[in-house]
Amino acid sequence: MQIITSKDNESIKNIKKLKERKFRDLNNEYIIEGIKLIKEAIQEKAIIKRIVICEECLANNVIDDKLLYEIAKYDCLYVNKKIFESITDVSNPQGILAIVEKNNKKPINYGEDIIVVLDDLQDPGNMGTILRTLDSANLSQIVVSKDTVDAYNPKVVRSTMGAIFRVNIIEANNLVETLKEMKKNKFKIMCTDLKAKKNIYEIDYNKKILVIGNEANGISKEILDIADEKIIIPMLGKTESLNASVATSIIVYEYIRRKIQNL
């Protein structure tokens, strides 16, 4: 087993580049870290291009025999501790990471009841939580504007807890035009708006596009102008607005409640 010890190794250089969005986009790849995420990637049949293992991780028997057997089926790269620490994005790494192909080649599925759309959302934590929420609701896709935080950002990937492998992430170069096209497929655009007269308990959730806006500026005027419905989450206290991921979760779970009632 050859162990890479040089930071100038071409493979190591290419892995380091994936820390930047432009290289993730160029190569259509991203990094996942840790035993749990790699197990999920294998289970979900994600396209794993390469697995990188720290020699110390092997020496300490951190990886169980079953996972070692599965890992052996892939292209593996073994590195020393110093090299692994130069490519990891985690403060206390487990000593294993993988390069995975992005899950972003499927078209929009119009067979789902609701489709969540993000309009320039910026916080990685919000993005990760929203992807987990959609996965929990058995919603398998999300549409994002080109200026929305990268769903394959390492912080987002970790916070999805595996949902990244199951949710199709569709990036729209022109979100307004994409929404207009979605409306042609008998979907209605539903926007959260503090001035809305209807609340989330007074609408139906059949063939709806739920748009969630930027944390600071909300939904853009262009999208509000083409919205079919504007809704508000009723609040009894003095707080006027909620965190974007919290608001998404509340609305998606109202959709789930209705769906369960109708079973």
Task: Tell whether the torsion through CA atoms of 251, 253, 254 and 255 is positive or negative.
Answer: positive
Residue 258 and residue 205 in contact, taking contact as beta carbons nearer than 8 Å = yes
**Domain assignment of residue 108, yes or no:** no
Same domain, 206 and 247: yes
Spell 221-242 as b/e; 16+ CB within 10 A means b.
Answer: eebbeebebbbbbeeeeeeeee
Same domain, 15 and 95: yes
Please state the length of the chain.
263
Cα–Cα distance measured from residue 84 to residue 89, given in angstroms and rounded to the nearest whole number: 10
Domain-ending residue, one of 38, 70, 101: 101
Same domain, 131 and 241: yes
CA distances (Å), origin 113, targets 85, 123, 147, 188, 209: 44, 26, 26, 11, 9
Which ranges of 137-187 would DSSP assign to H, the alpha helix?
A: 154-160, 175-183
* Chain position carrying tokens 């996942």: 32
Task: Output the pLDDT for position 63.
Answer: 85
**Number of domains the chain contains:** 2
Same domain, 86 and 159: no
Give the residue numbers spanning the domain of 242: 114-261
Q: List % helix, strand, coil for the chain (3-state, nearest 5).
A: 35, 20, 40
**Domain assignment of residue 193, yes or no:** yes
Look up the CATH number of the domain holding residue 55: 3.30.1330.30
Cα–Cα distance measured from residue 42 to residue 218, given in angstroms and rounded to the nearest whole number: 37
Same domain, 164 and 220: yes
| Nearest residue to 30 (alpha-carbon basis) of 79, 91, 93, 98 | 98
**Domain assignment of residue 183, yes or no:** yes
**Domain assignment of residue 72, yes or no:** yes
| Nearest residue to 203 (alpha-carbon basis) of 234, 182, 166 | 234
Splitting the chain (263 residues) into consecutive groups of 10 residues, what average pLDDT does each group show?
84 95 96 95 96 85 86 93 92 92 89 96 96 96 96 94 95 96 96 89 95 92 96 85 91 94 76
Same domain, 168 and 236: yes
Same domain, 198 and 246: yes
Same domain, 72 and 147: no
Name 136's Cβ contacts closer than 8 Å, sequence gap at least 6.
none
Task: Output the pLDDT for position 139.
Answer: 96
Same domain, 239 and 160: yes
Same domain, 141 and 12: no
CA distances (Å), origin 196, targets 46, 117, 160, 161, 220: 41, 19, 31, 34, 15
**Domain assignment of residue 46, yes or no:** yes
Task: Output the pLDDT for position 263.
Answer: 67
User: Helix, strand or coil for residue 177?
Assistant: helix
Task: Output the pLDDT for position 175.
Answer: 97
Task: Output the pLDDT for position 38.
Answer: 95
Same domain, 214 and 84: no
Task: Output the pLDDT for position 251.
Answer: 96
Helix axes 244-261, 124-136, angle to 10 degrees: 10
| Nearest residue to 40 (alpha-carbon basis) of 100, 109, 106, 127 | 100
